[in-house]
Structure 1
Amino acid sequence: MRKSYIYALLVGIMVAWGLNVTALKILVEHFSPVTLTALRIFTAGVVVLLFLWGIGRLGKVGWKEAKQIGLAAMFSVVAHHFFLAVGLTRTTAVNAGLVLGMVPLVTALLAMVFLGQRPTMFRLLGIALGFFGVMFVVANGNGGLGHLSVGDVYVFLAVLAQGISFIMIKKATVDARVMTGWMLIFGSLWLFVLGLVLEPRGLSSLKEGTPLLWTIFLASAVVATALGHMFYNQAVQHLGPAESAVFINLNPFFSLLGAHWLLDEPVSWAQGLGFVLIVAGVVLGSGGMDDVSARFRRTNVATRGGRKAGMW
């Protein structure tokens, strides 16, 4: 699979995930958050497995693969979504957005530790620019930066859990798409149990759904969660966790567009500046400049070699 195609696919996924923030904001105002998340992720898992069955890629999973899937699901689905849900109840959206913007940085650091990847100057600069871009985007909302709270710690644990899951996906021997489907199913069941404990009236809140709300729910579950996670995890196996995670910096920008377009929320000049920094961070952090630099060096070496050969 060509890198240019994977990059375009990742941008599309970030559009879906960014708009999904607006969709979830609408949904959690009408349903219990943890119960809703469990149902949404379960629906996404079913869609992924049906898709793989339809294209003939849903093979048998052995015990070794099942252990990889179960362990990754505990981090990617259960821990990430649980800590994020709890954290958002105890901190501001601005602080949560800032902490979530650390996903690429945390993932890159974990890749250095567990995968032995050596970050280049361009990638480090890209991660830094993307991080500061996220700061510009989220720090200019109505809430301001605020102070560190217990909720911020929970959101950071969600970031850490997601970063760890990316490392596991990269090292797994099972196909990323198959792994995604079973992770979503396994994780949603655990979240459902947590929902029963934390939200005794969670299931009854589902009765308040309208056709419009369920349409938004299906769009979130199928497009953002099912297809988005399936293809993102496939990109992780092709590009690596650090390079793929850099694109997550695009999420705040598309979240802003969704909020402005669907909820009529204003977008400031500072948030536009943040987007410029984010794009620069993606270009550098994705490894694009490393490829250009490598080709430039190879061209110079070939040119010098040709000149030397011509001298003889």
Structure 2
Amino acid sequence: MVQNIRSSGFLLALLGSLLFSTKAIFVKLAFAGTSVDALSLLAVRMICALPFYLAAAFWINNSEGSQPLTGRQWRIVLVLGLFGYYLSSLFDFMGLQYISAGLERLILFLYPTFSLLINSIVFKQKMLLRQWMAVALTYAGIILAFFGELELDSANPNFFLGSGLVFLCAITYAIYISGSGRIIPQVGANRFTSYAMLAATGGILLHYVIGGNYTALGQGMSLWIYGPALAIIATVIPSYLISAGMKKIGSSNVAIISSIGPVSTIVQAHYFLGEPIFWQQIAGTGLVLTGILLLSKKSEK
């Protein structure tokens, strides 16, 4: 019975991680197939995902034993939602206009190290030698892959801009992760996720109403294929799969399984987008994954 639970948890986490890794592919295909801008594509994605999170929030609020949030808890959830799925998603989509999906995924995978540094500086958690080694390995891998990509994409005038935007995405997402680890025990994982996503959706739609390109929504059927695919295949379904897997096998095991994400994105980008695979990318990915696995490993007593 225990083995069955672990096997199903592994499969749920693996499938969720693979689906999450399709996000960059759908974004790049949308940019290539339409003239949509990052904000408009992000708005379509969140509009399509909105009904699912509204339904989840409604169900949670009406479930037995549900306690109302305090004013302070509301403020924390709203701020973290804006950091985690508004700012980070916006930076990510903007960055993907200029760099490859493979490099985007590797830079984005710096967020665990940022979370570690935030916990150390802000929350005064002592970093172990193993964690410092993980940070060093991760950054060495990113630098190696970055310069390999730069060599191939030297004619791209926006290469550093795109990389910097995804770097900002990793930072804002790390803020969300660090903060969520402290508020989730108080309000519950499903409630936090639903409310945070609704806050982010509100921020994105307000941004679009104020400064969006309304003509971009008339890009034909292609945009309204990529938008729902981003929302359902690369956002809603994997978020619930990961949550279900976490309940069965724990967050540390899910973190290890999720390390397949960069590899999956690189392979998909090669076959669906025609992006090259080069030795610096392979070696850099190996260093990044080694660092993430080192961070995920439970410390020995």
TM-score after normalising by structure 1? 0.72
How far did residue 232 of structure 1 move? 5.5
**Equivalent residue number for residue 48 of structure 2:** 43
How far did residue 23 of structure 1 move? 0.7
CA contact (8 A) 2:141 2:283 kept: yes
| Aligned residue runs from structure 1 range 200-279, under 5 A | 200-201=213-214, 204-210=215-221, 214-229=224-239, 239=251, 250-279=260-289
Q: How has the CA–CA distance of structure 1 residues 228 and 100 changed in structure 2, closer, same or farther, with 3 Å as cutoff?
A: same
**Equivalent residue number for residue 18 of structure 1:** 21
Q: Say whether residues 1:167 and 2:172 are aligned partners.
A: no
| Aligned residue runs from structure 1 range 1-312, under 5 A | 11-29=14-32, 30=34, 31-50=36-55, 59=66, 61-64=68-71, 65-87=73-95, 92-93=99-100, 99-141=107-149, 142-143=152-153, 153-172=164-183, 173-201=186-214, 204-210=215-221, 214-229=224-239, 239=251, 250-288=260-298, 290=299, 293-294=300-301
Runs (5+) with no aligned partner, structure 1: 295-312
The SS at the match of 1:157 is helix
How far did residue 98 of structure 1 move? 6.2
**Equivalent residue number for residue 302 of structure 1:** none
How far did residue 47 of structure 1 move? 1.9
CA contact (8 A) 1:124 1:285 kept: no
Q: How has the CA–CA distance of structure 1 residues 271 and 33 changed in structure 2, closer, same or farther, with 3 Å as cutoff?
A: same
CA contact (8 A) 1:18 1:251 kept: yes
Equivalent position amino acid for 1:160 in 2: I
The SS at the match of 1:140 is helix
Distance in 1 between residues matched to 2:241 and 2:68, nearest whole Å: 19
Distance in 2 between residues matched to 1:81 and 1:254, nearest whole Å: 20
Equivalent position amino acid for 1:209 in 2: G
- Which stretch has the larger CA shift, 57-66 or 259-268? 57-66
Identity %: 18
- Which stretch has the larger CA shift, 227-236 or 29-38? 227-236
Q: How has the CA–CA distance of structure 1 residues 109 and 285 changed in structure 2, closer, same or farther, with 3 Å as cutoff?
A: same
- Which stretch has the larger CA shift, 163-172 or 4-13? 4-13
Distance in 2 between residues matched to 1:246 and 1:127, nearest whole Å: 16
Aligned residue pairs total 284
- Which stretch has the larger CA shift, 118-127 or 46-55? 46-55
Equivalent position amino acid for 1:257 in 2: V
- Which stretch has the larger CA shift, 135-144 or 260-269? 135-144
Q: How has the CA–CA distance of structure 1 residues 76 and 7 changed in structure 2, closer, same or farther, with 3 Å as cutoff?
A: farther
The SS at the match of 1:62 is coil
Higher RCO (C-alpha 8 Å, min separation 6): 2
Equivalent position amino acid for 2:128 in 1: T
Equivalent position amino acid for 2:37 in 1: S
How far did residue 163 of structure 1 move? 1.2
Distance in 1 between residues matched to 2:163 and 2:289, nearest whole Å: 26
Q: How has the CA–CA distance of structure 1 residues 11 and 85 changed in structure 2, closer, same or farther, with 3 Å as cutoff?
A: same
CA contact (8 A) 2:145 2:285 kept: yes
Distance in 2 between residues matched to 1:33 and 1:227, nearest whole Å: 22
The SS at the match of 2:210 is helix
How far did residue 7 of structure 1 move? 7.2
Q: How has the CA–CA distance of structure 1 residues 233 and 72 changed in structure 2, closer, same or farther, with 3 Å as cutoff?
A: farther
The SS at the match of 1:119 is coil
Task: Report the structure number with the largest CA radius of gyration.
Answer: 1
Q: Map Cα deviations across residues 33-64 of structure 1 (whole Å, 9 max, x no partner).
A: 21221231243243244357679869564344
Q: Map Cα deviations across residues 190-217 of structure 1 (whole Å, 9 max, x no partner).
A: 212212333333xx3333232x654443
TM-score after normalising by structure 2? 0.74
